[in-house]
Structure 1
């Protein structure tokens, strides 16, 4: 730690914090980045005259040289080691410099020795300590006033808390009464059944009873389900005839054995529909103008490509879909591709968007056209 030296012969002593520069109490490396103000930089500590001050791009001159010529060049500076001040040329005004030096401590002056000239003729001098004493007096007065205000606020807060407790109790009693009434009404609403004439299905149910009341109950005779309106939705509550056995190959149930066997033998392939997109000529990097609308809801399960004349380079094709002719979206995460000299795509295409809605329109977009590729055909298989 640096030594703390005070000169006790003064009432308000100057305090000096200094280091001895020995191995036990060495000087400290400093790097102060400070601006030039009024031609001077005041360092944060006193620099060591032995180790000097280093500023990149500048040269330090000795006090003797400066006294002989009485001016500084643009890239020169003079250090006053006794007070820790660096003097610069006028061109450096306002510019910040990084000053590197060994700090040997600092001098702290008492506030009573820093004065301000308030008026002249006659001179009136007030020290910084006078200002500090005045400020402290005002702070003490304000603390007393703040203490009184805080006491008033505290009393007001106590009364407010008491009022809040009383209000909360009243609100809680009102809420309890409201909850009890609501529970009674819920019990009535959830058990009340008002039977209505049966309808064919849910479509006719919503049309016929478009403005239902809580408790209305109706049955759909196509499936035997019974629905009750709960205030928001029609909720299925039971199925009439739910004890009927399902059909199997040996006994009638909800359908006959013959109908069951006929449905079972129906080939699944009949559910697949195919869209064919083609171009009967040379294929270039372009969007093919042939559009294919699809009128059913379904799932895109496969994409295949063929060409009559193979290309000499790779071909890449996007499958695009739209509903408004303005926004076309690629349904593939990995596009349809033809290797050179191949009549078939390389089967690496991956479908990203499989869901198809009735009214979707498809087209093919040639992102990369193989050289001399002709007579292109693309099959989209959609399962409905």
Structure 2
């Protein structure tokens, strides 16, 4: 292969990366791609931290991978080049692939090569394009010469057979070259049209589409292109990724969404705990507790390590400025003589808690010989 001289590195690989910061974050992408030769090429290089997700399939990750080692429900991601390998049973299937896009790598045509049946490099994509352009130009030149050839046929009747044969060959080459050029153009042709609200609006807004028309659907963010027969999804803009549900992947995978819904409500409860000295003195104790969230008091309980021979009576007070204190109980905590736990008779009259509220313990009556007290205030945020 004769590789053209382009003065060293004037045709480098161009790599465009995002930083993955708040100012330049990786973008959420969902590519719709068809498996060809057991692989899919993503439109961008995926981020390895967030991984690639395909509904109903499992990513495998190990070195020296062979495609025959992949199971039907598995896939392997090359995070350096942005392609995915699949089991041969996935051939021809169109998949929805979600990932975080880091950017893309643009290869110059001089660095993309064609191999023959013996796996030898024969020519680059640049050579193919340049040769095709030369062939097309030659065909166009021959078309322009056709009239002259026809006139020469009239003038030189003795060469009519040769001239006619040359003219037919030129016309055939021109047709082949023109058809190849047309197909190459139509395969990449995109004509953007104004967006619509839903996919059904495409059918009514554009009842007679032309090849290459491209329309974005606002409610899903999916961009559709007309291939001459059907509207095919080709892209999904990150800003309009649908919300996750039990059935659809989106800003959160449906598996994570279901797991989140299964978490018990009690996970939102916080407990403010007061541990008091061995023996209680009558009056306000020196331990204060500040709550950092807005919330609602669910319950207040108290217990002691050593039961007293008389009752213990405790009040809970709240303040915002450490000067003005108000009791939040209409019926105070009571630990009866001979018991380690309160009798569950306290009534909270002020349940609302604001961020920054401060709580303290006021012992109204200390049980004789009782010690090692703990008071717990459970607050739902």
Is the TM value for this pair above 0.5?
Answer: no
TM-score, normalised by the number of residues in structure 2: 0.35
TM-score, normalised by the number of residues in structure 1: 0.35
Q: Look at both structures and tell me which one has the larger radius of gyration over its CA atoms.
A: 1
